[in-house]
Structure 1
Amino acid sequence: MRIVVGISGASGIPYAVKFLENLKGQETYLIISDAAKKVIEYESDVDVDRIRSLASHNYEDDDFSAPISSGSFLFDSMVIVPCSITTISKIASGISDTLITRAAAVSLKERRRLIVVPREMPLSTIDLRNMTYLSENGVIVAIASPGFYTHPKSVDDMISFVVSRLLDLVGVKNDLIERW
């Protein structure tokens, strides 16, 4: 399976790291935005190089020659985790000024699975409308909101809940959480 992973400049880097760690055996294509690099430094003990090492292929966010910027390059899913509200707004508006937003546009035009994972709150009416617009156009909006019915004992348990759901959405089997 080929999975494109974008990390944009929103809080929630631990979700991205755990997601990538659990994609072993999949062919992964990673894009880390410049804003995400700053967030990684601020909120994570993991450095950018360590995160890059978790992916099969890495691209800079301004590399429009990357294969994932073309509809002729086949991939199964794209997940933007975390997905900033700015990135959601650009995708909803059809703005493809970065590799992340270009790969998202490819996902939309080629009718491939696109999952955005916002972690923001509260949300403005504009944010909600943009997410609704994306959802109406086939994008899965997976809010990074852990459930508590699994009785999490740690922050890692809550991260595992969200990541387990993302893995389910891209079709990667996992046992990160106890299932019903």
Structure 2
Amino acid sequence: STENTHIEGLRGDNVAVLSGYGFTGWSTQEFSLRTPARSYVFETLTEEFDSEVKAEFKAILDGLGSTRNGDLNKVAVALLAGAKHGVQLFEISRWSEDIDFASRATFSRKKNQLEDAGLIETEKIPIDVGRPRLRLLLDTEQFPESDTTPDTIVSVSQQRLSGEFSEDPNEG
């Protein structure tokens, strides 16, 4: 008879030591990945806002290819898609936090970066109590109403965020 002295790849003395401390095997606890699945993001965007915001988000993502590098990341894409449709910063950042997409602070920092780059602007919406809410809008200088296609949003955003623009319209 052969005794099974094998615990998850360990043999011999290691098994005796671990068994002495009550180790009986590896735990299989669930853990959450940092970003929810795209299908879940799309589904919740439609539920929280509408299918147009979801379609815009998806089209910008598709035009971008990857959000893993650079300043034009998933949060920037969500803000730009929301800005095209006049979504409130409070609502989109709350949605994001609810689905573990990104924190409100991350959305606030990215909104500031996009504003500084001249890509979005905000409009104050007065409320009865507390700080006014902010409606996100695409910057009309960068994105005239006639040219807000996802491809244009991607190319202008990449240029502006990479610093390939001049602050002075008379330069270059």
**How does the TM-score come out when normalised to structure 2?**
0.31
Larger radius of gyration: 2
